[in-house]
Amino acid sequence: MTDINSSKRGSPLSSSSLGGDRPRPAKTGGSPLFLRDEELRQAIELLFYAYRDFTGEPDVILAQRDLGRAHHRVIYFVGRYPGMTVSYLLDILKITKQSLSRVLGQLMTEGYIRQDQGQEDRRQRLLTLTEKGEELERLLTETQRKRIARAYRAAGPEAVEGFRDVMLGIISSDEDRARFENRGE
Amino acid sequence: MTDINSSKRGSPLSSSSLGGDRPRPAKTGGSPLFLRDEELRQAIELLFYAYRDFTGEPDVILAQRDLGRAHHRVIYFVGRYPGMTVSYLLDILKITKQSLSRVLGQLMTEGYIRQDQGQEDRRQRLLTLTEKGEELERLLTETQRKRIARAYRAAGPEAVEGFRDVMLGIISSDEDRARFENRGE
DNA sequence: AATTTATGTCAGTCATGTTGACATATATGC
DNA sequence: GCATATATGTCAACATGACTGACATAAATT
């Protein structure tokens, strides 16, 4: 049907556990756009693989506590911005109030997060991690920090700068990009 | 309760739609690890925001066709490796056969993907996009390619190199990293 | 001939997202 | 002070996409 597996190009890579040859990327014709297209597709895939692996380790730890990735995100950001409001969290996560509500409710019931009434604006419920929450946050973030630290160390400071610039460019809004300014103090 | 909103540091950023001051990151004490911790946390957040926005546009297009992100991943990778096997796809996505089965079944029923029996190994079902599938793939990938292209252009070639190196470092396995070798030909 | 591999399928469950409507307390503007 | 807007919470219903575990078939491999 196709000649994908007929090894016309390049040396046959040692057959993996998948059996047979590794599939080859589709060619987009010999057009001058080939390299550019290839480069952009690689970026797409880098994002996919990196994100998949980046979330893999925490997911295991969370599963042991009957929590999911959604809980992780909440714990992470509440740990990051102690005393943050529910609105602010919604704005970061870009999910509905309903979705957050369930997750947040569980985290409070289980004692990972505490709510305090705002002083200036008493409608606000300021979110903070409890001891237990901080402990879990450290555990989860530690795996991700290690992964990033390893990648940063291997790639070097210049690469880190480039990584940061490209990632900022991928983000849609100025508002979100602004979260990365003036942080070193 | 806390003094998070009391604006002790820095100039007050113009209050956003969220009302009130922007929450400030938690300090980790004046330890010498501060910068490193901050740097690593920023990476964690860059991954979160970038991935969230990266998948946002395709999600809208998919929703119009009653498809989800899972369908996108399948369509993308089948388009990338025409004639790929089910096993290979499972290996990339790292999900269960069951999860893939449902999504793949829908895509075939809806006429986005075709299955052909392998010639050498007739147990294999080689996956290929149909015309309709290719059309959707182009539409979806186009939004992501544009996003990446914009980011790459803004950041410059050196940054792109760094981005790539860091992302490769974040990926867990040599097997997956190997997917990025020898592609330019 | 026995075993392994590639694929498919059944049944049930869970996590996490969605919409839309409605309720309450508090803050703010006129 | 009253009207309106905002911050938050809550109810019901639903869709998607993951999961587990078991079992079935055809073809390849040993």
Test A81 with B26 for CB contact under 8 angstroms: yes
| A-B Cβ pairs (cutoff 8 Å, strict) | 277
The answer as to whether B54 is a domain residue is yes
B108 CB-to-strand C distance under 7 Å: no
The answer as to whether A7 is a domain residue is no
- Looking at chain B, which runs of residues are DSSP E strands? 113-117, 125-129
Test A148 with B170 for CB contact under 8 angstroms: yes
| Bridge partners for B73 per DSSP | none
Q: What's the pLDDT at A6?
A: 29
B124 CB-to-strand D distance under 7 Å: no
Report pLDDT digits (tens) over B136-169. Answer: 999 999 999 999 999 999 999 999 999 999 999 9
The answer as to whether A35 is a domain residue is no
The answer as to whether A184 is a domain residue is no
Contact by Cβ (8 Å): B169, A154: yes
Test A46 with B154 for CB contact under 8 angstroms: no
Report pLDDT digits (tens) over B156-165. Answer: 999 999 999 9
B67 CB-to-strand D distance under 7 Å: yes
In whole angstroms, give the CA distance from residue A138 to residue B19: 30
| Residue A67 reports pLDDT greater than 70 | yes
For residues B39-67, average pLDDT: 92
A75 CB-to-strand C distance under 7 Å: no
| Residue A130 reports pLDDT greater than 50 | yes
The answer as to whether B51 is a domain residue is yes
Paired sense of beta strands A113-117 and B113-117, if any: unpaired
pLDDT tier for residue A25 given thresholds of 50, 70 and 90: confident
Contact by Cβ (8 Å): A57, A144: yes
Test A18 with B91 for CB contact under 8 angstroms: yes
State the residue range of the domain holding A98: 43-171
| Residue A160 reports pLDDT greater than 80 | yes
Chain A CB contacts of B51 below 8 Å:
47, 51
Number of domains observed in the structure of chain A = 1
Q: What's the pLDDT at A8?
A: 28
The CATH code of the domain that includes B160 is 1.10.10.10
The answer as to whether B11 is a domain residue is no
* Three-state helix/strand/coil letters over A20-67: CCCCCCCCECECCCHHHHHHHHHHHHHHHHHHHHHHHHHHHHHHHCCC
The answer as to whether A22 is a domain residue is no
B119 CB-to-strand C distance under 7 Å: no
The answer as to whether B8 is a domain residue is no
Residue A98: exposed, middle, or buried by beta-carbon count in 10 A (0-12, 13-18, 19+)? Answer: exposed
Cα–Cα nearest to A124, from B4, B98, B161: B4
Q: How would DSSP label each residue in A66-117?
A: T--HHHHHHHHHHHHSTTB-HHHHHHHHT--HHHHHHHHHHHHHTTSEEEEE
Q: Please identify residues in chain B, positions 42-101, with a C-beta within 7 angstroms of any atom of strand C.
A: 85-88, 97-98, 101
Q: What's the pLDDT at B7?
A: 30
Chain B CB contacts of A79 below 8 Å:
26
Report pLDDT digits (tens) over B67-112. Answer: 999 999 999 999 999 999 999 999 999 999 999 999 999 999 999 9
Q: List bases, strand D, within 7 Å of protein CB.
A: 6-13, 15-22, 26-29
CA–C1' A72–C6 (A): 36
In whole angstroms, give the CA distance from residue A111 to residue A106: 8
In whole angstroms, give the CA distance from residue A18 to residue B178: 14
In whole angstroms, give the CA distance from residue B127 to residue B104: 10
In whole angstroms, give the CA distance from residue A161 to residue B125: 44
CA–C1' A127–D6 (A): 18
In whole angstroms, give the CA distance from residue A143 to residue A123: 36
In whole angstroms, give the CA distance from residue B47 to residue A170: 10
Test B54 with A170 for CB contact under 8 angstroms: yes
Nearest nucleotide to A99 by CA–C1' distance? C17
Q: What's the pLDDT at A182?
A: 67
Taking CA–CA distances from B9, the nearest residue in chain A reads A185
Chain A CB contacts of B59 below 8 Å:
none
In whole angstroms, give the CA distance from residue B110 to residue B28: 53
* A94 touches B at CB < 8 Å: yes
Chain B CB contacts of A152 below 8 Å:
39-40, 43, 166, 169
